[in-house]
């Protein structure tokens, strides 16, 4: 048996700043000449003109394809066929994490290069060499891994500021989990998504993401609500996108994301952002670890102030929904799930108990901190 190796992977180039979208063509011209730009109709409505103008200045024509909403196997195969039919040599994802994951997967299948242009800072998907694939109903199905990361990640921080602040909050929820999971992975010596054990680099970047967010997230949320770019917002965009992306991939995933994946099995949670469900996973992981009560309570208070769910009520569940919670726990602990990177064995029964317990815990912390009562979430469909 070969000795384990340590590995860190990253995108070819990361670009961030207000107005960066105007330079997309400049950076893209070094990667390909016949791009296929994939975006949903909402995103294209507010950024399509800028994308087309930038590519025109670089001497390229923007061929645009509509993304249909869920990175399912069927949608990925459809986009792969479009890439082949258009003869594109680079696929450009413009939008959120779902669009980006679908483009990474289809670009890989079509044998071309791919680029991420996130218009929100809601997940760490833009930088990674993997895609999260769901069923057509939005239930987690699998991770797909690719031999390389995107060649370019370009983030226009003014576009991020213009988006609803709830997207930024979701990104904070996703990114805060990075350190919690990286430290658990380092303790267990488990493999990371980069194909080896954790590097000092991956773990340090995960910790840096955590530190940046605790220092800047509340001020960044204020800036996002006012749709302005401030130094705090720039730092949080980088933490949500680059630091968290490198940190999760080369530092490791553990219980928080496994619980997120399990939650997709509960229809009541559909419609929630990835990072909202990850935040519930982070609290569940802290409970599973038996973390100091002050650490758990501080995390709940802070993420409530950011605008993230910290109770079952806010993700459409109740403690008495025992069958749904058991189903979530079973899905979170299937063979191969990242929960098995925890430095101790975790059973479905453990997850169910920890998940059930956060309702009273969250309510108690919020009441003590003078924070509002949790509002019930109901999926529109």
Active site residues: 174, 257, 260, 274
Strand segments, DSSP code E, in the chain are 14-17, 35-39, 63-66, 90-95, 113-118, 130-134, 140-145, 152-156
Q: How far apart are CA 94 and CA 51, in angstroms?
A: 9
Q: How far is CA 26 from CA 62, 86, 100, 352, in A?
A: 13, 22, 20, 50
Q: How far apart are CA 179 and CA 204, in angstroms?
A: 9
Structure tokens at 286: 């802290």
Beta carbons within 8 Å of 1's beta carbon, 6+ residues apart: none
Which of 270, 244, 243, 238 is closest to 256 using CA atoms?
Answer: 244
If DSSP codes are grouped into helix, strand and coil, which group holds residue 119? coil
DSSP alpha helices (H): ranges in 156-254?
157-162, 165-188, 200-225, 231-238, 244-251
Which of 200, 202, 232, 199 is closest to 217 using CA atoms?
Answer: 232
């Amino acid at each position: 048996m070969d000795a384990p190796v340590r590995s860190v992977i990253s995108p070819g180039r990361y670009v961030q700043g207000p107005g960066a979208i105007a330079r997309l063509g400049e950076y893209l011209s070094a990667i390909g000449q016949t791009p296929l730009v994939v975006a949903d109709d909402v995103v294209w409505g507010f950024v399509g003109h800028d994308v087309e103008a930038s590519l025109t200045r670089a001497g390229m024509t923007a061929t645009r394809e509509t993304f249909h909403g869920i990175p399912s196997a069927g949608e990925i195969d459809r986009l792969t066929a479009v890439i082949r039919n258009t003869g594109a040599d680079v696929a450009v994802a413009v939008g959120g994490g779902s669009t980006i994951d679908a483009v990474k997967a289809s670009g890989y299948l079509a044998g071309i290069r791919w680029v991420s242009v996130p218009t929100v800072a809601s997940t760490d998907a833009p930088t990674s060499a993997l895609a999260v694939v769901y069923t057509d109903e939005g239930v987690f199905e699998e991770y797909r891994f690719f031999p390389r990361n995107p060649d370019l990640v370009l983030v226009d921080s003014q576009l991020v500021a213009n988006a609803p602040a709830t997207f930024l909050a979701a990104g904070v929820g996703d990114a805060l989990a990075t350190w919690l999971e990286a430290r658990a992975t380092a303790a267990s010596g488990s493999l990371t998504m980069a194909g080896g054990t954790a590097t000092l680099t991956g773990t340090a970047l995960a910790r840096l993401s955590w530190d940046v967010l605790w220092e800047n997230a509340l001020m960044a949320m204020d800036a996002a609500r006012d749709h302005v770019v401030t130094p705090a917002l720039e730092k949080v965009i980088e933490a949500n996108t680059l630091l968290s992306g490198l940190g999760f991939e080369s530092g490791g995933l553990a219980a928080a994301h496994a619980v997120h994946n399990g939650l997709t099995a509960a229809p009541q949670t559909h419609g929630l952002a990835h990072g909202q469900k990850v935040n519930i996973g982070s609290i569940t992981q802290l409970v599973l670890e038996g973390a100091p009560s002050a650490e758990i309570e501080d995390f709940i208070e802070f993420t409530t102030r950011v605008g993230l769910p910290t109770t079952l009520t806010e993700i459409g569940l109740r403690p008495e929904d025992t069958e749904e919670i058991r189903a979530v726990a079973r899905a979170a602990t299937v063979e191969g799930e990242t929960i098995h990177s925890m430095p101790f064995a975790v059973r479905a029964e453990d997850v169910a108990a920890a998940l059930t317990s956060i309702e009273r815990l969250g309510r108690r912390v919020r009441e003590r901190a003078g924070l509002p009562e949790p509002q019930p979430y109901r999926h529109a469909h």
